Structure 1
Amino acid sequence: MIRLEKNGGLWRVTLSRQEKANSLTRAMLGELADIAEAAGSEDVRALVLTGEGKVFSAGADLDEARAGLATDPVWERLSGAIASLPCLTVAALNGTVAGGAFGMVLACDLRIAVPGSKFFYPVMKLGFLPQPSDPVRMAALIGPARAKMILMAGAKVAAEEALAWGLIDRIVTLEDVDATVAELTADALAAQPDHVAGIKRLFG
């Protein structure tokens, strides 16, 4: 359900559970965290997260969420591992992002999304708290009020509004996703790993 492709300094990680809208199980989250942690110890210069089908991820698998996954520390382990990577990280969003799937997306350096994508995090309605780092990272991108619109007012944000807010960085057609990823990662892939890491450290 998680596919990892390695091409030199580029790692591409794909969520592959289309029949369940790429909803995330504990096993999938653990595997994603393992990959992110492994990337931190290898000469990876760019890591790309994407999904198959029309949805990036619907968030937690509902059955597992009811059984405790919604509050499992594996979410923070994953987003923390991505955020601490010394390489360039890109979320290439093939569709809608919901709930806990926000964590790994917010932890990336860059976010691109296809037209028609929506962004929502219905923790207020579902009775859960968001993962601790998610509101902080979201507010850093779009400001506290807009973050509260998503997390507290249950706003569903369309791609165009997400771009205007700064939640995503570009809207690209599905056919252009690969070309855009290639464009965004080209300089990092051509550089030495310590140079990539050195520039990223400057952002704190």
Structure 2
Amino acid sequence: MIRIEQTDGLWLVTIDRQDKANSLTGEMLRTIAQAAEDAAEQGARVFVLRGEGKVFSAGADLDEARAGLATDPVWERLSGAIARLPCLTIAALNGTLAGGAMGMVLACDLRIAVPSARFFYPVMKLGFLPQPSDPKRMAALIGPSRAKMILMAGQKIEAEEALSWGLIDRITAPEALMETVEAFAADARGASAAHVAGIKALI
């Protein structure tokens, strides 16, 4: 359900559970977190998250969420591991991003989405709290009022509006998504891991 590929300094992590809208189990979250931790240790220059199919991720698997996954520390382990990566991190959003899956995406440096992508985090309606770092990262990107629109007012944000807010950085056609990722990754892949880390640390 999670594929990890490494090519010339680029780590590509793909969520592939299309029959369940790429919803995330605890095992999947731990696998992605471990990949991010390994990438940091092994000198990755670019780390990319993507989904397979028409949805990036619907968030937590609801059965596991009700059984305790919603409050499991693995979510913070994952988003923290991505935020700490000293390389360029990119979320390639092939479709809608929902719920707890937003945490790992908010922790990335760049977010690229297809025009059909929508963004929502229905914690108010579902009775869960968001992961502790998610509201802070969201508010840092789009401001507190817009973060409240998503987290408290339950609004579903279309791609164009998400771009205008700064929630995503680029909209691209589905067939050009990975081409855009590769273009964004090219300079970092051509540099040393130390140089990539040095520039990121300055920012």
TM range (shorter): over 0.9
Cα deviation code 1:113-170 (max 9, x no counterpart): 0011000000001111100000000000000000000000001000000000000000
Alignment-derived partner of residue 174 in structure 2: 174
Residue 185 of structure 1 aligns to a residue in which SS? helix
Cα deviation code 1:78-128 (max 9, x no counterpart): 000000000000000000000000000000000000011000000001111
Could you tell me which runs of 5 or more consecutive residues in structure 2 were left unpaired when the two chains were aligned: none
Residue 40 of structure 1 aligns to a residue in which SS? helix
How many matched pairs?
Answer: 203
Alignment-derived partner of residue 58 in structure 2: 58
1:179 is displaced (CA, Å) by 1.1
How many Å separate the matches in 2 of 1:86 and 1:20?
A: 32
Root-mean-square deviation (CA, aligned residues, Å) is 0.5
Alignment-derived partner of residue 42 in structure 2: 42
1:43 is displaced (CA, Å) by 1.7
User: What TM-score, normalized to structure 1?
Assistant: 0.99
Alignment-derived partner of residue 126 in structure 2: 126
Cα deviation code 1:55-96 (max 9, x no counterpart): 000000010001010010000000000000000000000000
Alignment-derived partner of residue 98 in structure 1: 98
Alignment-derived partner of residue 146 in structure 1: 146
* Percent of residue pairs bearing the same amino acid type: 73
Could you tell me which runs of 5 or more consecutive residues in structure 1 were left unpaired when the two chains were aligned: none
How many Å separate the matches in 1 of 2:48 and 2:7?
A: 11
User: What TM-score, normalized to structure 2?
Assistant: 0.99
Alignment-derived partner of residue 12 in structure 2: 12
Runs of 4+ with deviation above 2 angstroms = none
**Counterpart amino acid of residue 185 in structure 2:** T
